[in-house]
Amino acid sequence: MKAHILTITLNPTVDYATSAPGVEPGPKLRCTEPQIDPGGGGINVSRAIRNLGGQSVALIAIGGATGAHLLQLLALEGVATVAFQGPGETRQSVSVTDSVTGEQYRFVMPGPSWREDDMPRALNTVDQATGEGTLVVLSGSQPPGVAKEFPSILANHVAGREARIIVDTSGPALFDLVERPSGEIHTLRMNGEECEELAGHPHPLPADTASFAQDLVSRGVARNVIVARGADGSVLANAEGAWHAVGAEVPVVSKVGAGDSFVGAYTLALAREWSAADALRFGVAAASAAVTSEATRLCDRTLTETLLDQCRIAAI
């Protein structure tokens, strides 16, 4: 490993995944024994990195008994953690699959609200965990009360250590990054719907997505912009060019964790000093592997490496 990886999760969760024979309102739904996993964007990125044979440290805000349970789950998986006290109780999330139709219902709690004095504690913990040249991954939803400017604040905070920050966020935080470029973001990832909303028009072709992504790069939003186009793969643009990578054809069991698996593989590839195009293809392969697994099991190393040769990539 040539670079240290730090993932940040301000809004972690304990995920419960189960199934029931028919999901409908009214009657009690007799569920199967739940699969319980640690969750939240950055945590899942760290789990994916470990699955792929890499190492990282997961920096997380925890609270209450659920927070203690979360740390136990991560310890069982062998994920190194740095925890700090967040407000309230760590949240829980539930996904229920209708075993008759195969449809999945996901219930995601908002998490405890942050106060103004919670943020300095988070940034101090980041300072203690960030070394020279660290790859810092900020992934997942922001808890209520956290300023939309937090990704930019974080990027400026670690810039002096030559850290490379990778951001996978959505909503107001994403729009703020685009509207007020900090010039410090190494990689910004978003999905196709968010990209089209930012652009104000559809992107039917990968070339359309690439053009908009390159515009974001030229405006200083990020040095690399990645857009996930669902089944149509992902597009990456930077100052050197743009590429479109399409995943392998696999049976889809659950889409949960595919995005986090992508970010984990992409980040691990950067730590190994792979090119941007190769990192993109590795990310797509990991996402392809992730959708074949149930619940939040994420990508498998052997399957990811097998699928890598089946993932097509082309310059745009």
Residues with catalytic roles: 260
CA 144/CA 165 separation, integer angstroms: 22
CA atoms within 13 A on the CB side of 263: 34
* Under 8 Å between Cβ of 137 and 8: yes
CA 105/CA 97 separation, integer angstroms: 6
Helical ranges in the chain per DSSP H: 41-51, 64-77, 118-129, 150-158, 171-179, 192-199, 206-218, 258-271, 276-290, 301-308
CA 298/CA 47 separation, integer angstroms: 8
CA 47/CA 209 separation, integer angstroms: 29
3-state secondary structure of 7: strand
3-state secondary structure of 294: coil
- In this structure, what are the phi and psi dihedrals at residue 21, rounded to the nearest 5 degrees? -80, 75
For residue 146, what are the CA distances in angstroms to 111, 138, 173, 176? 11, 13, 10, 13
